A and B are shown apart, each in its own frame.
Chain A
Amino acid sequence: MDLLTPHLLSIGPLLTLVAVALLVLLLESIITKSEPVSFWTSVAGLLVSIGIAVPGIAVHGSAFGGMLRTGGSANYFSIIFFICALLTIVFSRDYLKKRDSVFGEFYLLILFATVGMVLMAAAADLIIVFLGIELMSICLYVLAGFIRGSVLSNESSLKYFLLGAFATGFLLYGIALLYGSTGSTSITFLTEHFETYASSRLFLAGIGLLIVGLAFKIGAVPFHMWVPDVYQGAPTPVSGFMATGAKAAAFSIIIGLFAQRFVHGVQIGTLLAILAAASMILGNVVAIAQTNVKRMLAYSSIAHAGYMLTGLAAGNAYGRDGILFYLLAYAFMNLGAFGLISFMEQEGEKHLTFDDYAGLGTTKPFLAVLMSVFMFSLAGIPPFAGFFGKYYIFVGAVQADMTWLAIVGVLMSVVSVFYYLRLVMVMYFQDTLIGQTASYSASSAAFVVLAALILLGLGVFPSSLLAIITTLY
């Protein structure tokens, strides 16, 4: 047992989270009116987990015979997931009341999904990758269909499940082929011996299938078909959680696999660049045509997968650090936006179109200002954090002689300004609609304000975060 103790200490954040999840499960079992207790336990547990994960960033190590990486990037990603889970849980409480589905199981499933994400970020072995993805996905399938009475929610859950299960099949087949050609599932082994096996078609086929499975999870073109329908139908905070947490989790694996050694000398960089360009173009162009705010953000999330893949295609430290920066910023801006939408949404999936936001600037100036902050940040307008994320990524692409990709990215960012600012325009320059209501608790409002302030802070002092990011790998 003594052998295990250092392992257990180094995976502190993961263990804390698992303990909190099990505690909530127990509370759900033994207390009759369990929802408030579960809510506060989850919030407190996530805050403690963040507190434990922060000091661990500086330490690098591995645990369980090379199954897990600890500290460094694993902790950085864990913090992103904890923040996503925290914001989602806080926003969803008001939202679930509106949808008449206030059950403590919601928080429980979010916590379990977060455990899966943390495992993905910490995985140093493809078996852990698979288990993490499954744990996350199964919980997300259920969360998407959490509003049992809503047809859209059920549709969203079913679509996500069928396509997600299919994508997992590809992923697993890829892992099997990699094991078949190298005899190992260790990510460290694979990245170190990539050149040795690069001539093996079986190995490359495995890598290809792995990319397919992961591209599905991040919603990159051409594996994006599910994104709009699933995001539209799922409970609004859950859509935000999928767009930020699940995307960051899948990216943590892709970065671990491809950002270090894989890209060099092989066509994988080009492949990722094509995926990136296609995602940016399709996501941004189709987003223009949307009238539903949730669908607009769904296409915007496809586009953002494209921006982040650009940094990966670059294959240099600049691009990788850019993605890491952007993922954290994206968590705040996208969850903030989804949170505000969930405040505005009314029973029966109403008040979700652009027109419903008309004149919000005069009726609800508080919400309108915050929404504008998130939209500006999503569009990549300084001084918000979204700008610097994109900046680092595109600089990385230029340095890697992928100037064409950077140009596509910049052009598409300009296109995106159109639909993000359209929402701002509608809020400030159109006549007010009657019957505009928003319901939110003080704690939710506080968290949205906090998210907006952090975005501003990261935008003004990006180097402070970047200094940490450069030490992660």
Chain B
Amino acid sequence: MTVDAILFFIVAAGAVASAVLMITGQNPVKSVLFLIVNFFCLAVLYLILHAQFIAIIQILVYAGAIMVLFLFVIMLLNLGTEEKHVDALNMKRSVAVILSCIVLFLILIAIGLPAAGTGGLPASALVNGTVETIGRDLFRQYLLPFEITSLLLLGAMVGVIVLAKKHFE
């Protein structure tokens, strides 16, 4: 096994473990902290895939900004440690677990079967995902999606104001 592969398995195990701990944790704030661990693991996975820019964005935007939002939402909802209503969900929970296992199983079949992966990635995807290469593609080939993103952000901005500003009550 190469260093890459060893590193991959260590980090992937960390990602899965933190994800499981995040879902099973009773305290929402702890769940958020595990989510941050998960984001860091993902960032390392991106690095292994030679996607440096995405790795940094993962940490800056997700682990940084979005987690702050998550914490605000948790404080907004004011959840204590008392989570008694979980019992009522047990039935639904078992159904959810079964369904998730089925989906996992199907995806494993899909990936594991010999027919999989006939296409393979184009050469451009294997180039280093540095800021420079991403910028070149983003501002030439993907010019339109880039401009649409600004509209998407604008729509979200108006949405925030409509939903959270006192004036609209």
The answer to whether A and B touch in the complex, with CB atoms under 8 Å apart, is yes
A residues near B (Cβ < 8 Å) are 18, 21, 25, 64-65, 67-68, 101, 103, 105, 108-109, 112-113, 115-116, 119, 125, 127-128, 131-132, 134-135, 138-139, 141-142, 145-146, 148-149, 157, 177, 180-184, 196-197, 199-205
B residues near A (Cβ < 8 Å) are 106-107, 109-111, 113, 115-122, 125, 141-145, 148-149, 151-152, 154-156, 158-159, 161-163, 168-169
A138 CA to B143 CA, complexed, in Å: 22
| Structural contact, B122 and A184, CB atoms closer than 8 A | yes
Report whether over half of chain A's contact residues are helix, strand or loop; otherwise say mixed.
helix
| Structural contact, B110 and A201, CB atoms closer than 8 A | yes
How many Å from the CB of B18 to the closest CB on chain A? 19
A105 CA to B168 CA, complexed, in Å: 10
The contact of B149 among A125, A131, A148, A180, by CB within 8 Å, is A131
How many Å from the CB of B107 to the closest CB on chain A? 6
| Structural contact, A202 and B145, CB atoms closer than 8 A | no
| Structural contact, B155 and A138, CB atoms closer than 8 A | yes
Most buried by B among A109, A148, A197: A148
| Structural contact, B145 and A146, CB atoms closer than 8 A | no
| Structural contact, B159 and A146, CB atoms closer than 8 A | no
How many Å from the CB of A149 to the closest CB on chain B? 6
**Residues of chain B within 8 A of A132, CB atoms compared:** 148
A67 CA to B169 CA, complexed, in Å: 40
**Residues of chain A within 8 A of B125, CB atoms compared:** 183
Most buried by B among A68, A115, A149: A115
How many Å from the CB of A74 to the closest CB on chain B? 14
| Structural contact, B159 and A141, CB atoms closer than 8 A | yes
| Structural contact, A182 and B144, CB atoms closer than 8 A | no
The contact of B106 among A125, A196, A205, by CB within 8 Å, is A205
A-B contact pairs, 16 of them (CB 8 A): A65-B141, A112-B154, A112-B155, A127-B145, A131-B152, A135-B148, A138-B152, A138-B155, A139-B159, A148-B168, A181-B119, A183-B122, A197-B119, A199-B118, A200-B117, A201-B113
A182 CA to B125 CA, complexed, in Å: 12
Residue of B nearest to A154 (CB): B163
| Structural contact, B156 and A138, CB atoms closer than 8 A | yes
Residue of B nearest to A28 (CB): B158
Residue of A nearest to B159 (CB): A142
| Structural contact, B158 and A25, CB atoms closer than 8 A | yes
| Structural contact, B121 and A199, CB atoms closer than 8 A | no
| Structural contact, B118 and A135, CB atoms closer than 8 A | no
User: 7 tightest CB-CB pairs across the interface, nearest first?
Assistant: A142-B159, A205-B110, A201-B110, A183-B122, A112-B155, A182-B119, A64-B144
A200 CA to B149 CA, complexed, in Å: 32
